[in-house]
Amino acid sequence: MSKKVNLNKIVKDYENNYKNVEHKIVLCAGLMCIASGALKVFEELKKEIKKQGLPVSLEINSKCAGVYVSKSGCQGFCQQGPLMNINDKIFYTQVKVEDVKEIVELTIKQNKKIERLLYLDPKTKKSTAKMEEIPFYKHQERILLKDCGNTNPDDINEYIANGGYASAQKATMKMNAEEICTEISASGLRGRGGGGFLTGKKWNFARIQETEKKYIICNGDEGDPGAFMDRSIMEGNPHSVIEGMIIASQAIGADEGYVYVRMEYPLAVDRMNKAVKQAEKLGILGKNIFGSNKNFKLHVMEGAGAFVCGEETALIASVEGQRGMPRPKPPFPAESGLFGKPTIINNVETIATVPKVLAMGGKKFGKVGTETSPGTKTFALTGHIVNTGLIEVPFGTTLREVIYDIAGGVTNEKGEIEEGAFKAAQIGGPSGGCLTKKHLDLKLDYDNLKKADAMVGSGGLVVLNNTTCMVNIAKFFMQFTQHESCGKCVPCREGTKQMLTLLTDITEGKATMKTLEVLESLATVVKTASLCGLGKSAPNPVLSTIKHFRSEYIAHIEKKTCPTGECLALAKYNIDQANCKKCSLCKKVCPTDAISGEPGKTHKIDSTKCIKCGACKTACKFDAIFVGGSK
């Protein structure tokens, strides 16, 4: 028997219950904040509020009153965690357990700010009380991530109170499949997993297939090193993924779907499973969803964590219980996918964006971003920057804006902001390419990045300073892709192995110019002849670094030196006599007595004894120790 879902009643009940709340405290419970002690702060907060005689509530219901304490998903500002937002007016950073008593006494009871817990801008030296006024947030447009860092991921009623499931209900009860596909097509929404294929077009391919059984798969197998966009969405706003899956199912006529999550994401798996159970209980999932005559069963499946399963046919094989290996296309999954049935696969960010598209309207959504890349994109921002974290910006935002306005600038090896320290940004993970100083004003979108021999990818963005060896970076990503190759096709299996060997020879001083020639030729072959996207994109970091930093490759090959000193086999430590104060600090820390010279006299490093540990360089307070040609 169908069960009607009255979203309006849920919203009204929630709002009535919320009237009894005097203060709302939202504590970030993303993984980075949890690692910094957020859960301990949360427990202490509950105890202290009770201790000081105030009523405390952990969920919004008819009995709640006083102080509502909630855990949210990732709020993005990972560098400053644990993060605490009080009444959307006071935003505290780096909160510790010992700060809790003062927070309750002064901020909750007396509405006073605690200055030391406010964000302090390292450039202006001014503190900021409101979240939206902090430069990290001010220069973003958080459409997808807004709810992720503001609502309780375990409370379906809070999600509904913020407009959740209204788009899914509309798609189920008031729209037909063609209308949904038309609306998504009008938005220009492109796949956020790397390929950038038009979502509406992909859905239409599956919609027109004449078969009773079809499937929807959400790809949460986020394998890029340092990427955590999809994980954060599943952990912080799992219901947005479910809602997007429901809409997709109605668009193509599917009655069953899978959220495929890598097993290294236990918190995401747990929160997705809880969200599915809550949605089933309300009649949003299962049989006769929203009181209609339509069914949609959703499974949460753990994957083994293979990078190749980011490729859709390999992911399908894994869901079917086979080894995750790609197959040739055509036929495409939209025609013959899971168990031979038409199947649509989108990544987490794409799926979670779909409800926003229907809520805003396709044309209005299409006005955000650029003409060919509408909407916003999340990036996992890491590397040599002041502010690492999870960000969301409109397509068309420049690399300069991301690095200097949001990330706060580039840091040197001492962690200090330094003008001119920027060297490159690796975008798109192991499948992407390097952007250099000449790309700082490049507008980030699918087409511009493709012209720059890079790609949006899933959204990994690593900022590198002048101390980074670009040959070593290429080697790092090649190690990753070679290890993750499924081995099915020879170009990828053997080609990546040989490319890694050639890169190793270059970083160890064993290469000749012929090595570089062979490396470039082999990279082109692997890129052209590999079966799937993993192999075809594996050479990208190599080709990109050779193009933009060829001089570094030549220095490794001809001069047998690593300009940055990162490649230990080529590192040669020297003392700059002009800066040396002859204090003997370096000599005292050298474990092999490789440094000669008495206090007040000239110091030298014996390269035959030096084990290149870097202890002398760390100990020197006068920047007198340098490696290779770094001076």
More confident residue, 410 or 1: 410
pLDDT band at 1 (very low <50, low <70, confident <90, very high): very low
56-57 sheet: strands from edge to edge: 56-57, 66-72, 21-28, 84-86, 90-92
CB 402 within 8 A of CB 441: no
Indicate if 308 and 385 belong to the same structural domain: no
**Residues 489, 456 share a domain:** no
* pTM greater than 0.85 (yes/no): yes
Q: Is residue 260 part of a domain?
A: yes
The enclosing domain of 531 has a CATH number of 1.20.1440.230
The answer on 477 and 459 residing in a single domain is no
In a shared domain, residues 362 and 380: no
| Both tokens assigned to 7 | 């979203």
| Structure confidence at residue 49 (pLDDT) | 96
- CA dihedral (108, 113, 115, 119) in degrees, to 10, reads 90
Specify the pairing of strand 389-394 against strand 376-383: antiparallel
Do 101 and 203 lie in a common domain? no
Q: Which residue has the higher pLDDT, 623 or 44?
A: 44
Which token pair is 178? 């063609």
- Averaged pLDDT for residues 266-293: 96
Answer whether residue 25 shows pLDDT above 90.
Answer: yes
Please tell me the predicted confidence (pLDDT) of residue 209. Answer: 96
User: Which among 317, 344, 366 is the end of a domain?
Assistant: 366
Count the helices and strands in the chain (H runs, E runs): 26, 20
Sort strands 422-427 and 460-465 into parallel, antiparallel or unpaired.
antiparallel
In degrees, rounded to 5, the angle at the alpha carbon of residue 113 between the alpha carbons of residues 111 and 117 is 140
We report the CATH number of the domain holding residue 597 as 3.30.70.20
108 in the same domain as 203: no
Residue 143 domain-assigned (yes or no)? no
Task: Please check the confidence at residue 605 and state whether its pLDDT lies above 50.
Answer: yes
Domain finish residue from 96, 122, 138:
138
**For position 187, which CATH number holds?**
3.40.50.11540
Encode pLDDT of 208-223 as tens digits: 999 999 999 999 998 8
Query: How many angstroms separate the CA atoms of 103 and 113, rounded?
Result: 8
Query: For residue 630, is pLDDT > 70?
Result: no
- Does residue 65 form part of some domain? yes
Expressed as residue numbers, the domain containing 218 is 163-366
Q: Quote the DSSP letter at residue 115.
A: G
Please count the other Cβ atoms lying within 10 Å of the Cβ belonging to residue 619: 16
Residue 11 within any structural domain of the chain: no
375/357 Cα distance (integer angstroms): 9
C-beta separation of 381 from 391 below 8 A? yes
Can you list the positions of beta strands (E) in 47-126?
Answer: 56-57, 66-72, 84-86, 90-92, 119-120
202 and 305 co-located in one domain: yes
Indicate whether 412 and 327 sit together in one domain.
Answer: no
In a domain, residue 8? The reply is: no
Say if 155 falls within a structural domain: no
Average pLDDT over residues 34-52: 96
Are residues 357 and 225 part of one domain?
yes
In degrees, rounded to 5, the angle at the alpha carbon of residue 270 between the alpha carbons of residues 265 and 272 is 95
Task: Assign 3-class secondary structure to 207-245.
Answer: HCCCCCCCEEEEEECCCCCCCCHHHHHHHHCHHHHHHHH
CATH of the domain at 75: 3.40.30.10
Q: Are residues 328 and 387 in the same domain?
A: no
Instruction: Please check whether residue 225 lies inside any domain of the structure.
Output: yes
Mean pLDDT of 497-501: 97
Q: Beta strands of 60-149 (E only): which ranges?
A: 66-72, 84-86, 90-92, 119-120, 127-128
**3-state secondary structure string across 429-450:** HHHCEEECHHHCCCECCHHHHH
| pLDDT higher than threshold 50 for residue 370 | yes
What's the chain's average pLDDT?
Answer: 94
pLDDT in tens, 62-106: 999 999 999 999 999 998 999 999 999 999 999 999 999 999 999
Q: And the tokens for 353?
A: 């964006």
**Rounded Cα distance, 475 and 488, in Å:** 22
DSSP β-bridge partners for residue 28: 72
Contacts of range 276-281, beta carbons closer than 8 Å, 24 or more positions apart: 276/242, 276/300, 278/156, 278/239, 279/156, 279/239, 279/242
How confident is the model at residue 628, as a pLDDT?
Answer: 67
Q: Are strands 56-57 and 90-92 parallel, antiparallel or unpaired?
A: unpaired
Where do runs of H (alpha helix) occur along 209-347? 229-236, 238-252, 266-282, 312-319
Q: 444 and 511: one domain?
A: no
- Nearest to residue 430, comparing CAs of 308, 553, 540? 540
The whole-number average pLDDT for the span 350-359 is: 97
Residues 388, 515 within the same domain: no
149 part of a folded domain? no
Peptide bond before residue 331 is cis, with ω within 30 degrees of 0: yes
Q: Which of 559, 582, 616 is the last residue of a domain?
A: 559
pLDDT over 60 (residue 629): no
Task: Give residue 2's pLDDT band: very low, low, confident or very high (50, 70, 90).
Answer: low
Given a contact cutoff of 8 angstroms between Cβ atoms, the answer to whether 192 and 377 are in contact is yes
Q: Yes or no: say if 457 and 377 are a contact pair by the CB < 8 Å rule.
A: no
CA distance 522 to 496: 9
User: Please, is 369 exposed, middle or buried when counting C-beta atoms within 10 Å of its C-beta (0-12, 13-18, 19+)?
Assistant: buried
Number of domains in the chain: 5
C-alpha distances (whole Å) from 134 to each of 120, 125, 390, 407, 473 are: 9, 12, 14, 11, 32
- Asked if 262 and 227 touch (Cβ cutoff 8 Å), the reply is no
